[in-house]
Amino acid sequence: MKKGLFISLILTSILLISRAQSTPKLGIDPIADVIAAMTKEEKIRMVLGTKLLGNPSGEPIIGYTDTLVVGAAGTTFGITRLGIPSVVMADGPAGVRISPTRKNTNETFYCTTFPCAMSLASTWNTELVEMVGEAMGNEGKEYGVDILLTPALNIHRTPLCGRNFEYYSEDPLVSGKIAAAMIRGIQKNGIGTSIKHFAANNQEINRRSISANMSERALREIYLKGFEIGIKESNPWTVMSSYNKINGVYTSESFDLLETILRKEWNFNGFVMTDWGGGKNPVDQMFAGNDLLMPGHYEQMLKLIKASEEGLLDEAVLDRNIKRILDCVIKTPRFQGYNYSDKPNLTKHAGISRDAASEGIVLLKNENSTLPLGVETKIVLFGNTSYDTYKGGIGSGDVHSSYKVSVYDGLKNVGFRLSENLFNKYKDYLAELNKSYKIMKGKPVVPKPEMKLSEEEIIELEKESDMAIMTIGRYSGEFADIASYYYLTKEEMSLLKSIYKIFNKKGKSVVVILNTGSVMDVSQWNHMADAILSTWYSGQEAGNAIADVITGKVNPSGKLATSMPLSYEDFPSSAHYPGYPVENPTNVDYCEDIYVGYRFFTSFNIKTEYEFGYGLSYTEFGYSDLKKAVDFSNNEIHISFKVKNEGKTAGKEIAQLYISAPSAGKNKPAKELKAFSKTRLLQPGEEELIETKLKFSDLASFSEKENAWIVESGKYSIEIGASSLNTLLSESFNLEKKMKVLETTPVLPLKKNIAILKL
């Protein structure tokens, strides 16, 4: 043998042997090899967040980590020898939630508070939401975050849910489309999202233990549909299971939910994490396909080790879950060595936040064109939240921004001259009040009592002004629901009454601004307001965005993504909320079934104060030229129509398409939203052609009897208009044959008899 060949053979064998003996590395070697090189202990640590709560030396705070990015919600376990980094997760729905300050540095790490989810949904503008997502994702990436724990899209089943501000709508299509846009925007940056809380986390009362009991039809058509749309359209990297149970089973322990529906039916290929400390049995969670337990608990580790020693935890299950986690880790900026700046463009993002916030404002009432106002108008500004405006809600959905703009600041910024005297009075009053005012974790937030003003004082203020604005605020969030604060408090009502009486007598108007994280009662007092703006939690630029709408710089184009009925009792969930036993509920029966929100009001002819899809503009729109073409070869319907700005001000319109299915004996809602479209800014006289396509499968309802999504035969009506009640164009088409669009396996059966509402 030639000497050269001999040496090269030797070298190759050395290389091969050393290769075989060297430790595999993530990103270089196959993931299966990396997993095979883990010890049993390492495998168990990989399916737990790094926090290890309850660890004798561990830190006790949930949703907060000091490692890597201070104040982020949690981190995954890393194994350096295998090239696996620990990756960072941070909340949440209204911006990146991290700590704004750090030990040993004067540098700050503020983030933008964007408008809350409910405000974003009220824009019905998927392009805008995608832009917000892109900015939010960029901030996350520049601060070293790998996965943002958003979007949250639980259905607004009750107006009392403390976290409604983090969720989008009572309707799954709006929720799903807005969530899909948010995911697209964030993930464009190459960081991940976690669509949450999967599923049916519709109240805060006993959220960690309550069983939401419902039919499979309601589960699939209402509570899962938005997730299905978000996941299929935008492929989030991760899903977060919810705290609650569905029909007696913790969602994080439900194979039906996480494997059968999420993975088998919807082809989700990312990983599933628990909500922070969610569920009970880590072995069941592993088996159910809840791959990662966050933020990680010492007890969970002991239980998994024990189960594994006793042969009760199949190693193949662990391997499967770890593979899903690593498939995601490999995509993260941290794994790819991204050199983050800690300096996102906060100025640019503040501008995006302001634009989005103004578009989410819903003009509910505008008698005699009270709004918009010229900046020369002399306004008296009442209400605590005019001066201390809520930018966001409580808990993990809150963001640490460096400032917030109150309604007062915003109006001043655009040139209104406001009473300094009254400002100082409110400032002193609020400072004094705040000394004793406390928010108790787990208890409904009591609204701050309004400052008392005598009629004489209000008369004096009226004399120097042209009109009054009163802001009414509600603070809400994680850990507690809203309780009786759905209605105005006695003090608020009496202040509004006095203001209205005094100003109205002098022919001066009163405008009410709502600064809330959910819908609240309007029926008992809206006769005392000439104009009403529902502004939600508008983020750090709240006051500027509100001023933009008040001056007409922005023509309001938001519409309600959740109905405002005549009374709390009109919500179909009200008879069954918060569950039973009342003092400490363990179960809540979703007896209203699929009749949530406008599906209920329109099917049972219940009058609402402001219906789903409603919102006014400073201009008017005309609808025309509805055309439809049924394409039987592709199982589609093509629909087009025109929207024209017929008023004198430029504006945007949200056109909605509802379908009434053939209903005889079929227990179908009177109508269901199947598509929506927001026009561009239309100048007076300008027109936009809207074209949309529905698949026959979009018309399907879920049949428990047939275990399938079914499109019934018969006549379908198409209703196009400006709200769920304001139909402006209609058409119909016939489907001759009934169609089974998807067969399913029965899942999550109801374990008790509940009195399900039927039409």
For residues 120 and 750, what is the distance between their CA atoms, to the nearest angstrom?
Answer: 34
Task: Pick between residue 125 and residue 201 the one whose CB is nearest to ligand BGC.
Answer: 201
Task: Pick between residue 276 and residue 598 the one whose CB is nearest to ligand BGC.
Answer: 276
Task: Pick between residue 91 and residue 221 the one whose CB is nearest to ligand BGC.
Answer: 91
> Which of 463, 466, 387 lies closest to 422, judged by CA?
387
For residues 82 and 655, what is the distance between their CA atoms, to the nearest angstrom?
Answer: 53
Task: Pick between residue 63 and residue 159 the one whose CB is nearest to ligand BGC.
Answer: 63
Which spans of this chain sit near ligand BGC (rule: CB under 6 A)?
63, 73, 91-92, 149, 196, 275-276, 396
Instruction: Name residue 103's amino acid.
Output: K
Question: Do you know the residue count of the chain?
Answer: 759
Active site residue 275: yes
CB of 405 to ligand BGC, least distance (A): 26
In which region does residue 466 sit, left (phi positive, over 0), alpha (psi from -120 to 50) or beta (all else)? alpha
CB of 149 to ligand BGC, least distance (A): 4
Q: Are 537 and 518 in contact (CB under 8 A)?
A: no
As a whole number of Å, the CA-based R_g of the chain is 27
> Which of 304, 338, 398, 352 lies closest to 98, judged by CA?
398
Strand partners, 627: 640
Helix (H) or strand (E) holding 490: helix 490-505
Task: Pick between residue 273 and residue 533 the one whose CB is nearest to ligand BGC.
Answer: 273
For residues 585 and 167, what is the distance between their CA atoms, to the nearest angstrom?
Answer: 23
For residues 674 and 561, what is the distance between their CA atoms, to the nearest angstrom?
Answer: 14
CB of 680 to ligand BGC, least distance (A): 34
The vertex-592 CA angle with 591 and 598, nearest 5°, equals: 170
Dihedral Cα 551, 552, 554, 557, nearest 10 deg:
120
Instruction: Name residue 549's amino acid.
Output: V
CB of 221 to ligand BGC, least distance (A): 24
Task: Pick between residue 289 and residue 397 the one whose CB is nearest to ligand BGC.
Answer: 397
Task: Pick between residue 83 and residue 192 the one whose CB is nearest to ligand BGC.
Answer: 192
**Residue 361 φ then ψ, to 5°:** -75, 135
Task: Pick between residue 72 and residue 325 the one whose CB is nearest to ligand BGC.
Answer: 72
For residues 467 and 381, what is the distance between their CA atoms, to the nearest angstrom?
Answer: 9
> From residue 7, how far is each of 10, 14, 15, 16, 17 by CA, in Å?
5, 11, 12, 14, 15
CB of 725 to ligand BGC, least distance (A): 34
Task: Pick between residue 63 and residue 597 the one whose CB is nearest to ligand BGC.
Answer: 63
CB of 395 to ligand BGC, least distance (A): 7
Residue with tokens 């009195």: 755
Q: Are 22 and 14 in contact (CB under 8 A)?
A: no
For residues 313 and 310, what is the distance between their CA atoms, to the nearest angstrom?
Answer: 8
Catalytic residue among 91, 171, 256, 275: 275
CB of 196 to ligand BGC, least distance (A): 6
Q: Are 70 and 96 in contact (CB under 8 A)?
A: no
Question: By three-state DSSP, how is residue 528 classified?
Answer: helix
Task: Pick between residue 133 and residue 651 the one whose CB is nearest to ligand BGC.
Answer: 133
Pairing of strands 362-366, 249-250: unpaired
CB of 211 to ligand BGC, least distance (A): 18
Q: Which residues contact 534 (CB under 8 A, 6 or more apart)?
A: 122, 361, 362, 364, 514, 516, 519, 558, 560
> Which of 234, 225, 122 lies closest to 187, judged by CA?
234
**Residue 84 φ then ψ, to 5°:** -100, 115
Question: By three-state DSSP, how is residue 60 classified?
Answer: coil
Q: Are 120 and 330 in contact (CB under 8 A)?
A: no
By the 10 Å C-beta count (0-12 exposed, 13-18 middle, 19+ buried), 428 is classed as exposed
Give first-to-last CA distance, the chain, whole Å. 90
Task: Pick between residue 193 and residue 656 the one whose CB is nearest to ligand BGC.
Answer: 193
Give me the helix-helix angle, 346-360 and 542-551, nearest 10°: 50
Task: Pick between residue 92 and residue 597 the one whose CB is nearest to ligand BGC.
Answer: 92
CB neighbourhood size of 280 (10 A): 13
- Active site residues per annotation: 275
